[in-house]
Structure 1
Amino acid sequence: YWKGTWMKVVLFHDVVALTQKLFPIVEAMQKHFSAGSGAYYSDSIFFLSVAMHRIMPQSLTHIIQLDLDLKYRTNIRDLFQEFQRFSPGAVIGIAREMQPVYRHTFWQYRKENPKTRVGEPAPEGLPGFNSGVMLLDLGAMRASTLYNQLLEPSNVTKLADQYRFRGHLGDQDFFTMIGMEHPELFYSLACGWNRQLCTWWRDHGYGDVFQLYYRCDGPIYIYHGNCNSPIPDD
C-alpha cells in the first residue's frame, strides 16, 4: 500500500538457492519419494513445500500452493477462509487422494498388516493426500516441534522403513506417509476444493474399488485435471 494505492507485489525465488538452504531435507525426500534421477517428481521444486516455513520470511505466515492444472469455480479468496478451520496442532490443509494410488504403494505394509486402515478409502480408511491444492500455515509449521522432528532425514528414513514405503510423487508422498502416523498435523479439505479427475487407476487393476476413492459428494469449488484429464465446462 503506497500513496493511497494498493500495489500487487510479485517475488521470484531461485529454486537452486532455496534447495541449497534445505539440502539435507530435500536429499532425504528425493531418496524416498521420487522414482529416481530424471523422473518428473525427482526435481527439487517438488520437495520445497515440506519446509517452506524455513525459507520464507517470518513476516509471511500463510501460503496457498496450487498446481497449474486447476479450474476455479469460486473466488480463490474463499479458500483462505479454510485456514480458520484448522484444529490446534494442524499445520497443513490438504484434500484426500481420490485414486487408489496409496492402496497400491503401501501394498507390502498392507500385506503384513491385513487389518490396517492405511490405503483404505475414506471415510473410515486412510487413502493418503493429493498435493494439488495445499494450505500451508507457516506459523504453525514453525511452531510445531513434532512436524520439524519429522523433517529430520533420520526420521524420514525411519518412517519409510516402518511403512515399507517407496514413493514417486514428491512432497505428496511425504505428507501422506506422516499423515498415516500423525493425522493431527493435517486439516482435511473437502474433496470439492480439489476435485481430482484422473481415472488412471480405474483402468489399471483397481476398477472394482475405484469409485470408493473417486466419489466426491458436495459442491465443487476447484476441478483438478490431473494426469491430463479433461476438465468439464461450466
Structure 2
Amino acid sequence: GGGLSPDTAIEAFLPSAPGRPSGQVVFHDVGVLTDKLFPVVEAMQKHFSAGSGTYYSDSIFFLSVAMHQIMPKEILRIIQLDLDLKYKTNIRELFEEFDNFLPGAIIGIAREMQPVYRHTFWQFRHENPKTRVGGPPPEGLPGFNSGVMLRNLEAMRQSALYSRLLEPGQVRQLADKYRFRGHLGDQDFFTMIGMEHPELFHVLDCTWNRQLCTWWRDHGYSDVFEAYFRCEGHVKIYHGNCNTPIPDV
C-alpha cells in the first residue's frame, strides 16, 4: 500500500538519459520471498531487530542473507546497494573487486565506520578485555556496514560453512557466545559471523563505502570515534547513512 508502481519505480531509479544501457528489470514480491525463507528470516529477526514494528524488523532486511537461495541459478554474482549512496566512479570498477576474492570468500563488504559494534559487543568485550572484537581498525574488528555489498551467489550456494551458519541453532549459538543482541538486520548477522569466520569475507576499502553518519560521536564515544571514522584515499562511493547530507564534491 502506498508504494511505487513498477513503472513509476523504474522511472524513479533509472531516469531516462542519453546512453543509458538497456536491460531487464525484474520485480520480486517481498512477501513471496519471505514465505520461501521463513525459517531463516524468523531466526534472524529474533536476534537482529529491535522488535516488531521497528524499521529494521521488516523482513526485507533479512532476505539478503539467503539471496543465493532465491535468485535464479543463472545469476552468479550481484551487487547490493543502499539507496542513500552517491557514486564518484564507474560501478564497473566495483564489479572488478570480485576478482580479488580469496578462495572461500563469498561476500565483499566494507568495515563499519562508527563504534556501533563496540557498543553492541560491550558485554563480550568486558568479559574478554584482550579481544579484537568491536575494536577500531587496523588491529580491531569493527564489524561491517551493509550499504555496499558484493555477493558471489555461486560461492554462497557452494559454501557448506555458510549454509551451516544460516541454521537457526547456529545463529542462536553464536549470538549466545558473543552476547549479541543487534538491531540492524542483515548487517548484524554478517558482522557476527565475520568475527567467527573472517575468511568468508573480502573486506572492501573504506573508499567503496565512505559512511558519513556521526551519530555515535555524540552518544558516548567521542574519545574513540575518529579511530573508526578515519578513511584515507579518493572516495569512490559516499554513503549518507542516518540521513546525513552527501557533499557536492
Q: Which TM bucket (shorter chain)?
A: over 0.9
Distance 2:233 2:68 in 1: 32
Match of 1:149 in 2: 164
* % same residue: 77
Q: Which runs of 5+ in 2 are unaligned?
A: 1-20
Cα offset for 1:7?
Answer: 4.2
Matched, 1:16 2:31: yes
Distance 2:243 2:87 in 1: 16
Distance 1:188 1:172 in 2: 14
Q: Residues 20-48 of structure 1, C-alpha deviation per residue, up to 9 Å, x if partnerless?
A: 11000000000000000001000000011
Match of 1:161 in 2: 176
**TM-score of the superposed pair, with normalisation by structure 1:** 0.97
Q: Which amino acid aligns with 2:166?
A: L
Distance 2:36 2:141 in 1: 33
Distance 2:76 2:34 in 1: 20
Matched, 1:135 2:158: no
Q: Which runs of 5+ in 1 are unaligned?
A: 1-5
Match of 1:79 among 69, 89, 94: 94
Q: Residues 100-142 of structure 1, C-alpha deviation per residue, up to 9 Å, x if partnerless?
A: 0000000011111111000000110000000000001000000
Matched, 1:225 2:240: yes
Cα offset for 1:197?
Answer: 0.2
Distance 1:160 1:79 in 2: 32
Q: Which amino acid aligns with 1:217?
A: E
Cα offset for 1:51?
Answer: 0.4
Cα offset for 1:77?
Answer: 1.2
Q: Which amino acid aligns with 1:142?
A: R
The aligned runs of 1:65-76 (5 Å cut-off) are 65-76=80-91
**TM-score of the superposed pair, with normalisation by structure 2:** 0.91
Q: How many residues align?
A: 229
Q: Which amino acid aligns with 1:224?
A: H
Match of 1:117 in 2: 132
Cα offset for 1:230?
Answer: 1.1
Q: Secondary structure at the match of 1:205?
A: coil
